[in-house]
């Protein structure tokens, strides 16, 4: 989190204004597509059933006043000036807030956490002021039930984002295509809108696997043209129909509206809140742009254009009381067809942005162990974060078409979408309040004021949406409940499996005792044993050796883990250490990824892992030689020190320009695993000619290092095998009925029908060895 970056008009990154304006322009197509098309359906949804447009214009003026102040208070004040400051190393979204909270308070439920994770450069935290010990922090850390409640809140927000990902394309495209009703007879229009909408949606989802980078350059011009179009139409309608419409922006008209319409007006707020759909994208897509760029784009272009569009529609409707309320009714007939085409294009852009955001948040959920494994395809090598998930794409398409055909009107779609949007905003408000206390170290009264002010506004709209439960709002609730059961069940079983592995891990002495005397053979090659454990020998390896009494000459226990940061620098990704003495040729490698990081392809992972092992071997032997010289210790004791709890961060390689005799240079950081403290940073160099010391002991050390490196490269030539656990979970006898249903049926059903760990890790089938494991939890 960068507090200095929160300065409204400052630029801590020292980007030029040209770069900032370019990013602001590009953000139009990615961030504001959904928000910019809301004028298509806000008035239509508001006046769908609860209230009617009368001759006094009190309803339309009150609606305009509500729209203006809602746009001003929520997207402008809340998101642009407050929430965007709560970034996690430049990243935004629900998981960014959760990550910040987990780093500043011990509330995370993620397994295999290490103190060494706090040594990451991206794991930065601001120290609290002296003598400030937040009661909120102590309360959160004390009760584990609050940890679970916090995770449920985060999962609820995630589920509603996914729900918005299938509702937004439906209502956006349907509203854009419904413009045909003003140009066609009702008979033809009734049978044309639904098929055309479904056709566009099928095309939209069918093209997802190409990625947005191929047509992304068109997104910003389309949204810019749309914003200029609706603002121009707004100005035209204001000057032609009601130049005094600006008076309706007064809050007085909101109270007058509620006084006249009473409960009907309160229920109509479920349609008004649609004017802020897409506001969450400003925060969720913060990682792709800068804070300043998003702020400038919204404050100086998007916000004025939307206000003018809503004022223009209100000005037109204030002089036309007997027409069906529709966006296209206020469009002059001479430009109606170009506006319809531009609206359809803008709705596709807005839908594309929310679909991409859905893929991204599911990928983050999967990284943090909160979603079943799915295949993630990275559609662009140049643009970070563009992913495509085939299974989710087709499920979204089917559900989106089902919503379109099932609801068949803007009212029901709007009710469903409004509830999903408002739930996400409420979750963001609650999490931001915790960030204000735990991360910004502000007095709790400030967080309470933020929560009460914005929370009360959002609760007002949320209650109005909830009243439409039988008119469409049931859909996001049902979908969120279904997704939360899946996500929480998967997370619960994953935690229990990790605890089982932790309690059943094998001691190092057992591994060292394996040898020819027990009939155990070492075969050529490198064996990569994947495990969630960061210490000890996993039970699946002991089962493997028990059933097949042989294992590879080079043995590496690999733990691929996620840490609560958005990105882990490549130079800090690998933690390498020994398992046993050097002659055993066993190592431990912990590969750390952030929740937004791109996992490597298996070919590059293999070569990079061998390279890091080689760097570690050279470093460890040179450190042993230095220890021998200074402390007169034998090489075995030094290596055993390294093999205990000491892990080493192996950095990136580079050429040394200081001397032609040095072949390569690497940054290495020693980390003591139990304490997580950095001992020292060293830079070691390997002489290209392998200059020998006169000291016979140093020569011996050098020879042993060369022999270990030769064994490593020989193992790489022989081939690399991937040893993974194939788990089956069942509840232990005496468990509750709920636990038996959750584990024996629910989790096992998900495990059988989702991608296996080999697909998630992209392991080639020819190199895969699966070890069956039964977990009795």
pLDDT in tens, 556-609: 999 988 888 888 888 888 999 988 888 888 999 999 888 888 777 766 788 888
Under the banding of pLDDT at 50, 70 and 90, the label for residue 300 is very high
Under the banding of pLDDT at 50, 70 and 90, the label for residue 187 is low
Higher pLDDT, 314 or 688: 314
Provide the CA 46 distance to its chain's centre, in angstroms. 33
Say whether pLDDT at 159 is over 70: yes
The pLDDT value given to residue 103: 85
* Whether the Cβ atoms of residue 561 and residue 592 lie closer than 8 Å to each other: yes
116-136: average pLDDT: 69
Give ∠ CA 607-613-614 in degrees, rounded to 5.
90
CA distances from residue 395 to 390, 416, 689 in whole angstroms, order as listed: 9, 18, 60
pLDDT in tens, 611-660: 999 999 888 888 777 666 555 544 443 444 344 456 778 765 432 332 22
DSSP string, 397-451: HHHHHHHHHHH-SHHHHHHHHHHHHHHHHHHHHHHHHHHHHHTS---HHHHHHHH
Question: Of 249-253, 479-483, 664-668, which gets the smallest average pLDDT?
Answer: 664-668
* Whether the Cβ atoms of residue 505 and residue 536 lie closer than 8 Å to each other: yes
Any residues with CB less than 8 A from the CB of 603 and at least 6 apart, and which?
Answer: none
The pLDDT value given to residue 95: 85
The pLDDT value given to residue 450: 95
The pLDDT value given to residue 83: 92
* Whether the Cβ atoms of residue 648 and residue 619 lie closer than 8 Å to each other: yes
What is the DSSP code (8-state) at residue 663?
Answer: E
The pLDDT value given to residue 687: 44
Any residues with CB less than 8 A from the CB of 138 and at least 6 apart, and which?
Answer: none
Closest CA to 38 of 84, 82, 74, 8: 74
Say whether pLDDT at 757 is over 60: yes
The overall average pLDDT reported for the chain is 82
Any residues with CB less than 8 A from the CB of 372 and at least 6 apart, and which?
Answer: 366, 486, 490, 750, 751, 754, 755
Question: Token pair of 454, please?
Answer: 């914005």
* Whether the Cβ atoms of residue 594 and residue 562 lie closer than 8 Å to each other: yes
* Whether the Cβ atoms of residue 109 and residue 141 lie closer than 8 Å to each other: no
Closest CA to 167 of 367, 421, 430: 421
Say whether pLDDT at 275 is over 90: yes
Say whether pLDDT at 680 is over 60: no
Say whether pLDDT at 19 is over 90: no
In three-state secondary structure terms, 239 is helix
Say whether pLDDT at 55 is over 80: no
In whole angstroms, what is the distance from residue 469 CA to residue 418 CA? 11
Under the banding of pLDDT at 50, 70 and 90, the label for residue 129 is low
Under the banding of pLDDT at 50, 70 and 90, the label for residue 402 is very high
* Whether the Cβ atoms of residue 531 and residue 75 lie closer than 8 Å to each other: no
Question: Of 136-140, 326-330, 623-627, which gets the smallest average pLDDT?
Answer: 623-627
């Amino acid at each position: 989190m960068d507090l200095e970056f929160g300065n409204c008009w400052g630029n801590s990154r020292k980007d030029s204004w040209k770069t900032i304006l370019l990013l602001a322009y590009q953000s139009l197509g990615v961030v504001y597509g959904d928000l910019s098309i809301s004028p298509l359906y806000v008035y239509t949804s508001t006046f769908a059933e609860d209230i009617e447009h009368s001759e006094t214009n009190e309803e339309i003026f009150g609606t305009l006043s509500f729209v203006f102040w809602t746009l001003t208070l929520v997207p402008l004040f809340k998101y642009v000036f407050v929430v965007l400051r709560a970034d996690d190393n430049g990243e935004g979204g629900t998981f960014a807030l959760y990550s910040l909270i987990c780093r500043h308070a011990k509330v995370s439920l993620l397994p295999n956490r290490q103190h060494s994770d706090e040594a990451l450069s991206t794991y930065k935290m601001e120290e609290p002021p002296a003598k400030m010990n937040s009661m909120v922090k102590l309360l959160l850390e004390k009760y584990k039930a609050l940890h679970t409640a916090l995770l449920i809140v985060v999962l609820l927000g995630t589920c509603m984002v996914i729900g918005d990902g299938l509702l937004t394309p439906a209502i956006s495209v349907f509203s854009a295509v419904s413009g045909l009703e003003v140009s066609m007879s009702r008979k033809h229009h009734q049978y044309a809108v639904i098929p055309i909408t479904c056709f566009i949606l099928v095309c939209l989802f069918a093209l997802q696997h190409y990625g947005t980078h191929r047509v992304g350059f068109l997104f910003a011009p389309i949204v810019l043209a749309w914003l200029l179009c609706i603002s121009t139409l707004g100005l035209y309608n204001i000057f032609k129909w009601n130049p005094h419409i600006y008076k309706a922006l007064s809050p007085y008209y909101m109270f007058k509206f509620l006084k006249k319409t009473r409960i009907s007006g309160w229920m109509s707020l479920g349609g008004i809140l649609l004017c802020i759909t897409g506001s969450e994208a400003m925060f969720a897509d913060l990682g792709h742009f800068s804070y300043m760029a998003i702020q400038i784009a919204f404050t100086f272009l998007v916000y004025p254009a939307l206000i003018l569009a809503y004022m223009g529609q209100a000005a037109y409707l204030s002089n036309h009381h007997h027409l069906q309320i529709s966006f296209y009714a206020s469009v002059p007939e001479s430009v109606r067809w170009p506006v319809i085409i531009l609206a359809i294009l803008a709705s596709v852009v807005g839908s594309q942005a929310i679909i991409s955001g859905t893929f991204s948040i599911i990928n983050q959920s999967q990284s943090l162990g909160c979603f079943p494994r799915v295949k993630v395809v990275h559609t662009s090598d140049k643009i970070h974060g563009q992913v495509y998930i085939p299974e989710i794409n087709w499920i979204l398409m089917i559900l989106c078409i089902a919503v379109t055909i099932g609801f068949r009107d803007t009212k029901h779609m709007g009710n469903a979408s409004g509830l999903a949007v408002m739930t996400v905003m409420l979750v963001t408000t609650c999490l931001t309040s915790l960030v204000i206390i735990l991360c910004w170290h502000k007095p709790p009264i400030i967080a309470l004021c933020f929560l009460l002010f914005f929370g009360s506004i959002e609760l007002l709209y949320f209650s109005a949406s909830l009243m439409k439960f039988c008119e469409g709002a049931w859909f996001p609730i049902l979908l969120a409940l279904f997704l939360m059961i899946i996500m929480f069940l998967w997370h619960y079983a994953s935690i229990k499996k990790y605890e089982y592995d932790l309690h059943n891990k094998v001691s190092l002495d057992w591994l060292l005792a394996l040898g020819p005397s027990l009939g155990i053979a070492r075969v050529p090659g490198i064996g990569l044993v994947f495990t969630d454990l960061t210490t000890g020998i996993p039970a699946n390896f002991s089962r493997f050796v028990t059933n097949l009494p042989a294992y590879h000459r080079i043995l590496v226990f690999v733990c691929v883990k996620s840490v609560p940061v958005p990105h882990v620098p490549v130079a800090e990704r690998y933690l390498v250490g020994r398992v046993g003495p050097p002659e055993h040729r066993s190592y431990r490698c912990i590969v750390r990824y952030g929740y937004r990081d791109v996992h490597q392809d298996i070919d590059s992972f293999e070569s990079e892992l061998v390279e890091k092992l080689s760097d570690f071997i050279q470093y460890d032997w040179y450190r042993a030689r230095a220890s021998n010289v200074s402390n007169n210790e034998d090489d075995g004791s030094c290596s055993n020190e390294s093999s205990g709890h000491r892990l080493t961060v192996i950095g990136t390689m580079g050429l040394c320009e200081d001397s032609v005799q040095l072949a390569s240079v690497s940054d290495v950081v020693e980390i003591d695993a139990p304490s997580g403290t950095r001992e020292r940073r060293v830079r070691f160099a390997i002489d290209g000619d392998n200059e020998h010391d006169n000291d016979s002991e140093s020569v011996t050390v050098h020879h042993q290092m060369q022999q270990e490196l030769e064994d490593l490269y020989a193992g790489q030539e022989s081939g690399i095998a991937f040893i993974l656990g194939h788990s089956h979970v069942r509840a232990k006898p005496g468990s509750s009925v709920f636990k038996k249903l959750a584990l024996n049926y629910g989790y096992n059903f998900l495990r059988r029908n989702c991608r296996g760990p080999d697909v998630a890790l992209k392991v080639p089938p020819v190199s895969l060895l699966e070890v069956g494991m039964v977990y009795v939890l």
